[in-house]
Structure 1
Amino acid sequence: MAVTRAPQPLATPVVRTRTAAIAHPALLLAGILLVALNMRACLAAISPMVGEIQRSLGLSATASGLITTVPVLFQGVGAPLTPRLTRRFGAERVVLGAVLVLGAGVLLRVLPGAAALYAGCVVIGVAIAVLNVSMPSLVKREFPERAAAMTGVYSTTMLVGATLAAGVSVPLERALGGGWRASLGSWSLLALVAALAWLPQLLQARRPAGPAAPAAAVSAAPAGRSPWRSPLAWQISAFMGISSLLVYSLVAWLPTVLADHGMDRGEAGLVFAFSNLVQVAGAFLVPLMAGRMTRQRALAVAMAGLNAAGIAVLLLAPVSGAWAAAAVLGVAQGGSLGLALAFIVLRSDSAAGAARLSGMSQAVGYLVAAAGPVGAGALRQLTGGWQLPLALLLVLALVAAAAGWGAGRDRTV
């Protein structure tokens, strides 16, 4: 598919009715932020519980690893289906349905038996996939002139939700007194709150048509040309996929890498938490910077370069350089996530186009990312050390730089 220079977004007049008044911009923003809080929280909440779940259900180490891998895998599987859903039902209904399904998956995951655990992980992965794809097109539609800045806001909120969930899961377990099931199941309440906050948007989507097409009609726009034939779309997908692989690999193994080199496990956990905290700053600031640039090539290469620098420190000085590596990787990982999402809105010319590009890039991205933790662990077991897995991640960071150089061009898919 040929690419063209990115047009300047045009503000579209909106028909005001009594239902449109319900969906005040502040309510829209609150709905987006509450949905975003859910998009990583239920995944991060399970990480501190994996050991207890393994003991409770008698799972092997490999089976325990699938608890975190399965949702990521199904985020990739579910992503291509979302543009069809939004065209048929409208983005507002799809988002509401996905949040409710996410809450149901959280509850399914804590029912007795390993089968329910994995079934819940599948449901959660598919629901998050729908939200991952829907949100960029909504941001593109509702904030056409501030799409990159709003992308930074909601990507930051996702990471805040993840950080909060990881930090309070164990205290929740102790406070509720119901073991890991009570702690993990409580996150369904957050999904319910987000669903209630999203209801005004559903009412807005029902407003009558006027001189300008209503939001639901925009969501239901006919399918355009497929991004799967666009080199630019593949470059965006590659940048998202490799960046996500680096994130998930280090999320899964960074504390173990540090502990295997002699660091106290408690300190290794603090280093990991610090890196997650720094991600929030990167996820907020990098999309803001991207929105002020015509081309984002240098920014993409900088994020990949910081990833490479942090991994190189882990290779050369894993203990003495751990805190420095955590800071650099935090900026790189949060910034790469925010930039990959910003590419979706900056490289598309409409909300429908953003949905199609988001569906492709996140399908490719999460399928690639799912291989990271498993592959790194397998290489560690095969070689008996972390040198080869980290060296391979270093090479992949350089590939991400090349993909980002192409994705950062001033073009649209």
Structure 2
Amino acid sequence: MTTRLWLIVGLTLLAIDLRAAITGLPPLMGDVQQALALSGTQVSVLATLPVLCLGAFAWLAPHLAHRHGTHAAVCAAAWLLALGAALRAVPSPTALFAGTVLSGAGIAIGNVLLPAVIKAHFADRIGLFTGLTMTLMAASGALAAGAAVPLSDAAGWQSALAVWSIPAVLTAAVWGLPATPGAAGRHRRTPSPTRKPMARPSDGSLLRCALAWWVSAFLGLVSLMFYVLVAWLPQIMRANGYTAAESGLMTSVMLTIGIPLGFVVPVTAARMRSQRFLVAAVATAKLISLAGLLLSPALGWLWICLLGVATGSAFPLAMTLLGLRTNGPRTAAALSGMAQTLGYLLAGVGPLATGLLHAATNSWHAPLAVLIALLIPEAVTGMLAARPGHVRSTPHRCPPLPAPALTDTQPIHNRKGVEQVLTDG
């Protein structure tokens, strides 16, 4: 099997891992709570913990990739995810929370490295492979949510949680193969004094780059909206008079609509010099659908379908910008780490704050109104992030190095001796 085909297989397995372990838990929450005698507070923390872990551990990914290579870092992320998924099957609250943290850490690292892998190995097909991975993420997330209860009925909730360690182990095996360039089995050559070393993530900062902040804020607001709806849409629709079964089906339909859009949107965005039209279209669709749920809930199915189009387009668009707004794999990893750290920490607050607001007002009108208001900063940051250009890091003030650091914009003939390191890290 050729190296490129192995990379595609590895990328496919990685994408499958990045949603299933998160979406497979909520449908089983009632069984888990009853089996482990969890309190209401513990259940609330457990529901929020995966998203918070995505932000808390995302910053580790660029540093792991620099020190050990991108492929080895992906392999480690897959092992963390496999261990966490297996640990959650142990009938103990401590094991459940520890496994959730480990799974979240693995998913966070994999999320950050995904754009860097695509940028490094498929730079000529960013839209195509981003679309492929977004589609697989959406499909695996929907599959995990839909299969959770049948698997639990057939083999118990422990098996339904542990089953997602299987694709994670396969992912680790593929990315750990010595046959793939830069994999864990291949040692990186230490640059000689005549070679230009790969710059570390700390050699430059994106924190003073406005474009990096716009991309980060857009991803955060898009993610906040998505996770709030996933967490609370069934309750919102039940409050509007729909049955529990129909409310759950509405959430499933919203997620399913996003599966083909996960492919179409990145491919379309990559062909555009500016993606502002897509940002405006997504914001408009969200505004109409959320306003419809607030003002005319009787047409719930219409608003749910439109909301599926909007949310199914927004996240793939934000992830595509991580590749389009950078000029190399190292910068893509740095921007992805920054955006997902800040973005998911912001997103993690959303479901909890929405629940508290609902409890305080005893109505879903105020939470829906807040979501509509948040469309303003989402649209503004999205418009700024979608403008043509690349992020640029700002060097820290530090003593000069013996040799200048390699940058993503250097011509390829100046990269003698470090091509493998660039591919690796």
1:361 to 339, 351, 355: 339
Instruction: Encode CA deviations 1:122-180: one digit per residue, 9 max, x unaligned.
Output: 1111111100111100100101111122111101111111011111111112222xx21
**2:3–2:181: 8 Å Cα contact kept in structure 1?**
no
Counterpart-to-counterpart distance in 2, 1:140 and 1:219? 20
C-alpha separation in 2, matches of 1:219 and 1:273? 48
CA gap of 1:349–1:142, structure 2 versus 1, over 3 A, is same
Say how many residue pairs are matched.
384
Q: Using the alignment, how far apart are the partners of 1:58 and 1:185 within structure 2?
A: 20
| CA RMSD in angstroms, aligned pairs only | 2.0
State the match for 1:76 in structure 2. 55
Could you say if the C-alpha distance between residues 219 and 240 of structure 1 is closer, same or farther in structure 2, counting changes exceeding 3 Å?
A: farther
- Aligned structure 1 segments of 4 or more residues deviating by more than 3 angstroms: 199-203, 206-210, 217-224
Partner of 2:357: 379
Map of 1:158 onto structure 2: 137
Partners of 1:260 and 1:50 in 2: CA distance:
21
Residue identity opposite 1:35 in structure 2: L
The answer to which of 239-248 and 221-230 deviates more is 221-230
Write the mapping of 1:112-123 to structure 2, written as runs, cut at 5 A. 112-123=91-102
Q: Which residue of 1 aligns with 2:410?
A: none
Counterparts of 2:26 and 2:152, CA distance in 1: 13
Give, in whole Å, the separation in 1 of the partners of 2:143 and 2:197.
32
- Distance apart, 1:342 and its partner CA: 0.6
In structure 1, the residue matched to 2:227 is 248
Contact 2:72 2:175 in 1 (8 A): no
TM-fit CA distance, 1:220: 5.3
8 Å contact 2:36–2:91 — kept in the other structure? Answer: no
89 and 23 in structure 1: CA distance in 2 versus 1, 3 angstrom threshold:
farther
**Residue 44 of structure 2 corresponds to residue 65 of structure 1:** yes
Say whether residues 1:324 and 2:302 are aligned partners.
yes
Kindly state the Cα deviation for residue 285 of structure 1 after the two structures are TM-superposed. Answer: 1.1
Q: 2:118 aligns with which of 126, 139, 148?
A: 139
Distance 1:197 1:219 in 2: 28
Does structure 2 retain, via aligned residues, the 8 Å contact 1:91–1:219?
A: no
Q: Deviations over 1:235-262 (max 9, x none)?
A: 1111100000000000000011011121
Say whether residues 1:272 and 2:277 are aligned partners: no
> Is the 8 Å Cα contact of residues 136 and 358 (structure 1) preserved in structure 2?
yes
Deviations 1:318-366 (A, max 9, x none): 2x22211221111111211111111100000110000000000000110
Deviation, 1:194, is 2.0
1:197 shift after superposition: 3.0
Please identify, of 201-210 and 141-150, the stretch whose mean Cα deviation from structure 2 is larger.
201-210
Residue type of the alignment partner of 2:166? L
- The correspondence for 2:69, drawn from 83, 90, 93, is 90
- Structure 2 counterpart of 1:199, from 170, 176, 180: 176
Q: Which amino acid aligns with 1:369?
A: A
Shift of 1:82: 1.0
CA–CA distance in structure 2, aligned partners of residues 292 and 402 of structure 1: 22
Deviation (angstroms), 1:201: 6.7
TM-score normalised by length of structure 2: 0.86
Q: What CA distance in whole angstroms lies between the structure 2 residues aligned with 1:370 and 1:123?
A: 17
Measure the CA separation in 1 of the matches of 2:262 and 2:214.
Answer: 20
Counterpart of 1:40 (choices 10, 15, 19) is 19
CA distance in 1, matches of 2:196, 2:147: 40
Per-residue deviation, 1:382:
0.2
CA shift at 1:298, angstroms? 1.5
Mean Cα displacement is larger for which, 325-334 or 91-100? 325-334
Distance, in Å, in 2 between the alignment partners of 1:368 and 1:202 is 39
Paired AA for residue 117 in structure 1: L
Q: How many angstroms apart in 1 are the aligned matches of 2:285 and 2:199?
A: 39
Aligned match of 1:342: 320
Whichever residue aligns with residue 84 of structure 1, its letter is H
Partner of 1:187: 164
Deviation at 1:222, TM superposition (A): 3.4
1:307 matches 2:280: no
Matched, 1:231 2:210: yes
Mapped to 2, the partners of 1:225 and 1:305 lie a distance apart of 37
1:139/1:151 contact within 8 Å kept: yes
Q: Does 1:127 align with 2:106?
A: yes
Q: Which amino acid aligns with 1:339?
A: L
Q: CA deviation at 1:218?
A: 11
> Alpha carbons of 1:220 and 1:256: their partners in 2 closer, same or farther (altered >3 Å)?
farther
Partner residue of 1:170 out of 142, 146, 149: 149
Shift of 1:219: 11
Q: TM-score, normalised by structure 1?
A: 0.89
Distance change (3 Å), C-alpha of 1:96 and 1:380: same
Out of 260, 264, 274, the position equivalent to 1:295 is: 274
Mapped to 1, the partners of 2:376 and 2:178 lie a distance apart of 42
The amino acid that maps onto 2:132 is V
